[in-house]
């Protein structure tokens, strides 16, 4: 029996057909859609991170330029800090008499008479300071005589700051009592002032280099507003 020509044709075509690709090979040749999505998501995240870095790293104008620009537009002058004006940090006194280097001395505030004498070279050998209160604070512009009589002020003039009352000094009857020259006994005679308060007035006068105004009586311990009102017309400086 002769073979059917159609069977031979099918056999020949079966030999020429390429073998089927295994399923695993087909999977390796074509990536899955989920893998593509992951790659796309990673790319988007990387792009966002790069854009954020570029935004933060951009150059910015100086912050102080804005107030200056506003001041220019409004015509206002920008405020500048100014250092406060401070008072003179020193006092100047004139030391004369029996010291090594008499003359004008510059001292720091709060200096004492003893420090002024030391700055003038100290007391000469054999000389004495006399009635000077070496612990008293000096005042700017005052004169400190060492071992010599203090120059007598003109009649009616107040004594220099820190000067002790002259011997036998007394006020004229009915005249206001000078707070800078009055003795403790004279102060004791004032109404409402006893020995204790008179001593406080003298101590205040010594410590502060004399009274500069009658109002300073109120700084003395024991002198209130009522007592000050009684003493005010009876004293002077």
Average pLDDT over residues 112-118: 93
Domain positions in the chain: 91-146, 177-236
Residue 186: both structure tokens together:
């004279």
177-236: in CATH 1.10.150.320 = yes
Q: Taking the CA atoms of the chain, what radius of gyration do you get in angstroms? A: 52
pLDDT digits (tens, 9 = 90+) for 63-95: 444 445 444 545 555 455 444 444 557 889 999
What's the whole-model pTM score?
Answer: 0.35
- Over residues 163-182, the mean pLDDT reads 64
* C-alpha pair distances (Å), 188 with each of 114, 136, 207: 31, 23, 19
For residues 97 and 167, give the distance between their C-alpha atoms in angstroms, rounded to a whole number.
20
Q: Please answer whether residues 89 and 80 qualify as being in contact, where contact means their C-beta atoms are separated by less than 8 angstroms.
A: no
Mean pLDDT on 197-212: 88
């Amino acid at each position: 029996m002769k073979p059917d020509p159609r069977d031979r044709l099918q056999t020949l075509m079966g030999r020429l057909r390429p073998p089927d690709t295994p399923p695993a090979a087909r999977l390796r040749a074509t990536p899955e859609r989920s893998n593509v999505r992951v790659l796309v998501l990673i790319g988007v995240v990387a792009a966002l991170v790069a854009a954020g870095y570029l935004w933060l790293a951009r150059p910015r104008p100086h912050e102080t330029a804005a107030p200056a620009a506003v001041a220019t537009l409004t015509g206002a002058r920008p405020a500048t800090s100014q250092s406060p004006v401070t008072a003179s940090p020193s006092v100047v006194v004139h030391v004369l008499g029996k010291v090594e280097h008499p003359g004008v001395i510059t001292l720091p505030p709060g200096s004492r008479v003893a420090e002024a004498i030391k700055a003038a070279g100290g007391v000469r050998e054999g000389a004495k300071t006399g009635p000077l209160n070496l612990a008293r604070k000096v005042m700017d512009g005052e004169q400190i005589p060492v071992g010599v009589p203090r120059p007598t002020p003109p009649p009616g003039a107040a004594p220099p700051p820190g000067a002790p009352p002259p011997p036998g000094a007394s006020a004229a009857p009915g005249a206001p009592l000078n707070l800078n020259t009055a003795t403790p006994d004279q102060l004791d005679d004032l109404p409402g002032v006893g020995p204790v308060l008179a001593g406080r007035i003298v101590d205040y006068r010594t410590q502060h280099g004399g009274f500069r105004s009658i109002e300073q009586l109120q700084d003395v311990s024991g002198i209130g507003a009522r007592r000050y009102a009684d003493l005010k017309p009876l004293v002077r400086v």
